A and B are shown apart, each in its own frame.
Chain A
Amino acid sequence: MTKQEALYNYVLRLGDDSLILGQRLAELCGHGPILEEDIALTNISLDLIGQATLFLDYAGALGGEKKSNDDLAFLRLEKEYVNALLLEQPNGHFGDTIMRQFLFDAFRKPLLESLQHSSEKELASIAEKALKETKYHLKHSSEWVIRLGDGTDESHDKIQGSLHTLYRYSHELFFEDESDFLLQKSKIVPELNSIKLEWEKTVKNVFEMAGIALPENDWKFEGGRQGRHSEHMGFLLTELQYMQRTYPNMEW
């Protein structure tokens, strides 16, 4: 594997995580539980789709097949998407949406903090830009985890249940393979061990304030990074790709 191929794989993961979570949050447009949250969640969706545009643009240039960001977003097969399984999980109730967001934001922020100093200039500049918004996202999702966990009995039980369901998907955020190792060796990307320490610190701190506990079992689900997705992914892609599949090459 060449450095360029490894970088393509790596950037595609960053782009797909943003794209798929952005799509999930966009489903809430007009369906948020309260007006302010409807606006907040779709704002975050817009940021994530903006990130996906830049990452997939960059991946397209690295890939050598002259694919545009739209080609990558709309015209791949399910097994070619490499987002983590966590991000394609359905919105569920508001607690599920917030918990999925929090587990991801707490990972994405330290990752981008590190990537903004990458020796690959394009990667560094996208990370620098995306980090500013990600700080807001993490603030928002942390505050809600605490408010729900430390709220009524019902909200506490619901958010505890969300953590119980989603925690098993969070381990995959730290998935590494030879693409990572090759880039880590040339100091282009950080080792995910260091990011995991940061993630655990944030997660522990926020769950303590929220009064919720990590599940006792240690189940781990993975596969998304290798293109093996959960059953939800097909439905998500059907909606995401509908226009391009129905009217190929259409533009706004």
Chain B
Amino acid sequence: MVNTINHIWSLLEEVYDPEVPVLSVVDLGIIRSVEEKNEAMHVTITPTYIGCPAMQTIEEDIQTKFEESGILNFKISTSISPAWTTDWMSEKGKKKLKDYGIAPPQNEPDKSLLFAEPIVVPCPRCESSDTKMVSHFGSTACKAHYQCKQCKEPFDYFKCFK
């Protein structure tokens, strides 16, 4: 049965985040578990952000992927605890993000500190550390908006979320 569970994981590697299409749902760290119960495969997923509008699409995409692969006896459920953190994103995923032009999450101080200086986020294109935060909130809930002062390009930063 280990084989089957491994097979499920490899299928999940081929399901991509609709908003950041270079990351698979496994890279993103939102697959919490794959288990076999009474001959059915149980997959548990967790949302990145509470109002993430992509969750339903992701669930449907997983469903489609399974059905195409002849796996018909499965159940997908959502769990919100423990809450998702960017620490669950794979190293491979972080590299893919950077290649795609999105700065991956950096280690940041706790958000409870109200007035900490914004952290240094290197530009994903030219590697310069001379960048500035334009806004805490970017094109999706999980990203902040930055600009590189060297190459002048704006870029998204995948926020550290703990």
Q: Which of B47, B52, B111, B139 contacts A39 (CB 8 A)?
A: B139
Residue contact A128 to B145, C-beta cutoff 8 Å: no
Residue contact B114 to A50, C-beta cutoff 8 Å: no
Let me know if B82 is at the binding interface, CB within 8 A: yes
Interface residues on A, range: 20 to 34
Let me know if A6 is at the binding interface, CB within 8 A: no
Q: Which residue of A lies closest to B134 (CB)?
A: A36
Let me know if B9 is at the binding interface, CB within 8 A: no
Interface Cβ pair total, 8 Å cutoff = 79
Q: Which of A39, A49, A205 contacts B51 (CB 8 A)?
A: A49
Count of chain B residues with a beta carbon within 8 Å of a chain A beta carbon: 25
Q: Which residue of A lies closest to B136 (CB)?
A: A140
CB distance from A11 to the nearest CB of B (A): 15
CB distance from A7 to the nearest CB of B (A): 18
CB distance from A97 to the nearest CB of B (A): 14
Q: Which residue of A lies closest to B111 (CB)?
A: A135
CB distance from B65 to the nearest CB of A (A): 23
Let me know if A133 is at the binding interface, CB within 8 A: yes
Residue contact A51 to B50, C-beta cutoff 8 Å: yes
Residues on the A chain within 8 Å of B38, using CB: none
In whole angstroms, how far apart are the Cα atoms of A209 and B27 in the complex? 42
Q: Which residue of B lies closest to A126 (CB)?
A: B80
In whole angstroms, how far apart are the Cα atoms of A40 and B115 in the complex? 18
In whole angstroms, how far apart are the Cα atoms of A138 and B159 in the complex? 16
CB distance from B10 to the nearest CB of A (A): 29
Residue contact A133 to B50, C-beta cutoff 8 Å: yes
Residue contact A135 to B112, C-beta cutoff 8 Å: yes
Residue contact B136 to A50, C-beta cutoff 8 Å: no
Residue contact A43 to B137, C-beta cutoff 8 Å: yes
In whole angstroms, how far apart are the Cα atoms of A139 and B112 in the complex? 8
Residues on the B chain within 8 Å of A48, using CB: 51
Residues on the B chain within 8 Å of A140, using CB: 136-137
Residue contact A132 to B51, C-beta cutoff 8 Å: no
Let me know if A85 is at the binding interface, CB within 8 A: no
Residue contact B112 to A129, C-beta cutoff 8 Å: no
Assuming the contacts A39-B137, A136-B136, A140-B136, asked whether A130 and B114 have C-beta atoms less than 8 A apart, the reply is no
CB distance from A25 to the nearest CB of B (A): 12
Residue contact A124 to B81, C-beta cutoff 8 Å: yes
Q: Which residue of A lies closest to B46 (CB)?
A: A129
Let me know if A125 is at the binding interface, CB within 8 A: yes
Residue contact A139 to B111, C-beta cutoff 8 Å: yes
Contacting A at CB under 8 A, from B49-108, are 49-53, 80-83
Let me know if A23 is at the binding interface, CB within 8 A: no
Contacting A at CB under 8 A, from B96-147, are 111-112, 114-115, 134-139, 141, 145
A to B CB contacts below 8 Å, 27 in the list: A36-B135, A40-B136, A43-B137, A46-B141, A47-B49, A50-B51, A50-B52, A53-B50, A54-B80, A109-B112, A125-B83, A128-B80, A128-B81, A129-B47, A129-B83, A132-B83, A132-B161, A133-B49, A135-B112, A136-B136, A138-B114, A139-B111, A139-B114, A139-B136, A142-B114, A202-B114, A206-B114
Give residues in A with beta carbon < 8 Å to B: 36-37, 39-40, 43-44, 46-51, 53-54, 109, 121, 124-126, 128-130, 132-133, 135-136, 138-140, 142-143, 202, 205-206
